[in-house]
Amino acid sequence: STGLLWVPVHLHRTLLGIISVLLSVKKCPYIRYQSSSEMAKRLAEKVREVLSKESNSFDFRQETSPVLLILDRRDDPVTPLLNQWTYQAMVHELLTINNNRVNLSHVKGISKELKEVVLSAEHDEFYANNLYHNFGEIGQTIKELMDEFQKKVKKHQKVESIADMKTFLETYPLFKKLSGTVSKHVTVVGELSSLVERHHLLQVSELEQELGCQTDHSVQLQKVKELINSQQIQEIDMVRLVMLYALHYEKYANNDINGLMSLLKSKGVSEKNVKLIHNILEYSGINTRQNNLFDRESVAKITKKLFKGLSGIDNIYTQHTPLLNETLEDLIKGKLSSQTYPYLGNTIISKRPQDIIVFIIGGTTYEESLTVYNLNKQNLGVKIILGGTTVHNSQSFLEEIQCATSGILSKYKHNH
């Protein structure tokens, strides 16, 4: 979208995408949308238009009352700004997944066949099984995969008789496939590890999580300044930390957004990137959002997180849960506010929905797809499908913000 409204051609393309999904899953849903978003309302109306015009095509026998929920990325700008620590999300954040392909041609000494690798859950069992595992677990799993491979290599070295050769040739295609899988994932995980180390991403991520999940202004401000001054982190990571700080403390009387912007400039951060701090407030400042992102952490949640941390699986790097998690939990329980997320038309269904299709205008993320995966696992009988205008990593999200806010007269003054 240019500015913060639909470009007709994009609206049409999005509409076609949603309609084709509804036809393929054979659902004619009730439509709910985010009331604070003009774009969500517009898309909802367009979908309804098609459903009534083409009512014959949508005359499905439905046991349940499916819901199409249309949301706007501007309500949760935090999720796409964060570093990720589950395999699929991390690969997209640090290496970018494009049509299931990852470009590794920049990796030093990379062999020809690994310059571009395909990561597809349909064709790669290891990837399918580890999509949502965190990085610590992946290291262990890769080691097991390597061990299994070594065992098979040893076995194949003992080709002594004709029968052995026959067995070897029969199992060779599987062996070759396993060999390709091992070398691909070892390379990808190796590259992720070196990026994490080189750019001090554990430190960056810990502070991002604090800014997203806890309120402690002076301590966090100090930490942001220290990391920027350390000269150890990338320009883009400095900028993201200041963006998270600005989103969190925008209305805080003593905030030092301008001071941090000046600090970025003094470190040689480009004008375009410094401007992103104001861009994100234009795109998704406190007056735009209908949910207060930063007051969601109740005491119960924080203590739950501390205990989680002790078990070692979910730790300080994965405290954050996307707003989508809460929205969908409320929808599943039948508690989602019909003021904030009205139905289109005069319908209100009291039955809890079992089939939910959620679509995020402005793009979704792999962290949100992990949320949907977990909700599907936890709620038997509920099936959620997630879609969006794109799947963002922080880089593409920053580009989107720049496009969306270019040409808007800024409310924010930058004191030089």
| Other Cβ atoms closer than 10 A to 334 | 11
Identify residue 139 by its one-letter amino acid code: G
Cα 37–chain centre separation: 20
The DSSP secondary-structure symbol of 410 reads: P
Task: List Cα–Cα distances, 110 to 64, 197, 205, 327, 330, in angstroms.
Answer: 52, 19, 28, 43, 47
What are 225-239's pLDDT values in tens digits?
999 999 899 999 999
The pLDDT, as a whole number, for residue 345 is 83
For residue 386, the cross-strand partners are 358
Return d(Cα 126, Cα 121) in angstroms, integer. Answer: 8
The answer to whether the beta carbons of residues 50 and 344 sit under 8 Å apart is no
User: What pLDDT, on the 0 to 100 scale, is given for residue 149?
Assistant: 77
Q: What are phi and psi of 6, to 5 degrees?
A: -70, 140
Confidence at 302, pLDDT banded by 50, 70, 90: very low
Amino acid at the residue 161? S
Q: Tell me how far apart the alpha carbons of residues 230 and 224 are, in angstroms, rounded to a whole number.
A: 10
Q: Which domains does the chain have, with CATH numbers?
A: 8-76+322-401 (3.40.50.1910), 87-199 (3.90.830), 202-319 (1.25.40)
**Contact at 8 Å (CB) between 242 and 224?**
yes
Confidence of residue 412 (pLDDT cuts 50, 70, 90): low
Tokens of 305: 């997180």
The pLDDT value recorded for residue 408 is: 61
Predicted confidence (pLDDT) at residue 73 exceeds the cutoff of 90: yes
- Give the pLDDT confidence of 323-376 residue by residue, as tens digits: 999 999 999 999 999 999 999 987 777 788 999 999 999 999 999 999 999 999
> pLDDT digit string (tens) for 16-64?
999 999 999 999 999 999 999 999 999 999 999 999 999 888 888 877 8
What would the pLDDT profile of 103-157 be if each residue is shown by its tens digit? 999 998 898 989 999 999 999 999 999 999 998 888 888 888 878 877 877 776 6
pLDDT-based confidence at residue 308 (cuts at 50, 70, 90): very low
Q: Which residue has the higher pLDDT, 63 or 284?
A: 284
**pLDDT at position 168, please?**
66
pLDDT at 158: 67
Q: What is the pLDDT of residue 1?
A: 39
Residue 377, pLDDT score: 95
Which pLDDT belongs to residue 63? 77
Instruction: Write out the DSSP string of 130-176.
Output: HTTSBHHHHHHHHHHHHHHHHHHHHHHH---SHHHHHHHHHHHHHHH
pLDDT band per the 50, 70, 90 thresholds, residue 414: very low
Residue 307's pLDDT is 39
Q: Which residue would you say has higher pLDDT here, 111 or 394?
A: 394
pLDDT of residue 313: 40
pLDDT of residue 295: 66
- Single-letter amino acid code for the residue at 330: D
Please give the pLDDT value at position 346: 72
Predicted confidence at residue 165, as pLDDT, reads 67
Q: Per-residue pLDDT for 298 more than 60?
A: no
| pLDDT score of 271 | 96
Predicted local distance difference test score (pLDDT) of residue 304: 45
Q: Is 277 helix (H, G, I), strand (E, B) or coil?
A: helix
Average pLDDT, the chain: 87
What is residue 310's predicted lDDT score, i.e. its pLDDT? 38
Q: Convert the pLDDT of each residue in 240-280 to its tens digit.
A: 999 999 999 999 999 999 999 999 999 999 999 999 999 99
